[in-house]
Structure 1
Amino acid sequence: MVKLRDVCHEIRSKNAGPFWVTFDIFFDGPGNFARYHDDPALSADSFARLYGAEAAMVKRIPVDDLSMIKISYPRTTPQGGMVERDMHSGQQYVPLLDAELAG
């Protein structure tokens, strides 16, 4: 199976304010974007399972001109809370690297 990291030139995560995390998934070209941007591994349900979010709250925004998808979800706890392990959400993308795509 193809992994997400094999078809992207950049995958990053970051804060989208103190209550949201956002991912920018840049595919390595329009062909792979067209083939994989709607893959089940990148669905709201998959993000909900992987990050403990509510699927109905996951937002997916494909940006065709940039061959990328922006996916955001609300944090389970606000930024800077007592249990914070990644203040800027910069490491949240790591589990996505090995996401297997059905294509």
Structure 2
Amino acid sequence: MRRSDMPRLRDIAKLIRTKNAGPFQLTLDIMFPDQRSYEHVVASGVINKPAMARFFKVDEAAVRLFNYAPGNAIKVTVPRLVTCGDPADTDLFGGQQFGSLVDIEVPPLD
């Protein structure tokens, strides 16, 4: 399979969003329509602490990642680079930070 033919996270997930988790933290929620989709993405390893640290430009040690099987969801929490409400804050509610995460390619499982 050519890399460009791989499904993207947006093709598999039901919901991908970011939002504030208080004034100093941002949370990413990735929710899947079923257990099979959830387990496929978790097993692929594309959502991991190093990748999320690079994406959000934070120290890997500050990334908290939770795989929540009962809800078919992955949650990632990171520190905000700018405190919510700061004059330099360009996204007061943190709702636009997921952007290009939707394009993460998810390899097929063997």
> Structure 2 length as normaliser, TM-score?
0.87
**Cα offset for 1:38?**
4.5
Q: Once superposed, which parts of structure 1, at least 4 consecutive aligned residues long, lie more than 2 Å away? A: 38-41
Paired residue for 1:12?
Answer: 17
The Cα of 1:42 is off from its aligned counterpart by 1.1
Structure 2, unmatched stretches of 5+, are 1-5
Letter in 1 for 2:52: F
Describe the SS at the equivalent of 1:41: coil
1:59 aligned to 2:36?
Answer: no
Counterpart of 2:15, as a letter, is E
Q: Hey, what's the Cα distance between the residues in 2 that align with 1:91 and 1:34? A: 26
Deviation at residue 37 of structure 1 after TM alignment? 1.8
Structure 1 contact 40–46 (Cα < 8 Å) conserved: no
Deviates most, 51-60 or 39-48: 39-48
Deviation of the 1:41 alpha carbon:
2.7
1:85 aligns with 2:90: yes
Unaligned runs of 5+ in 1: none
CA RMSD of aligned residues (A): 1.2
CA distance in 1, matches of 2:39, 2:24: 31
The structural deviation recorded for 1:95 is 1.5
Name the one with the larger strand percent: 1
* Aligned equivalent of 1:50: 55
SS in 2 for 1:76: coil
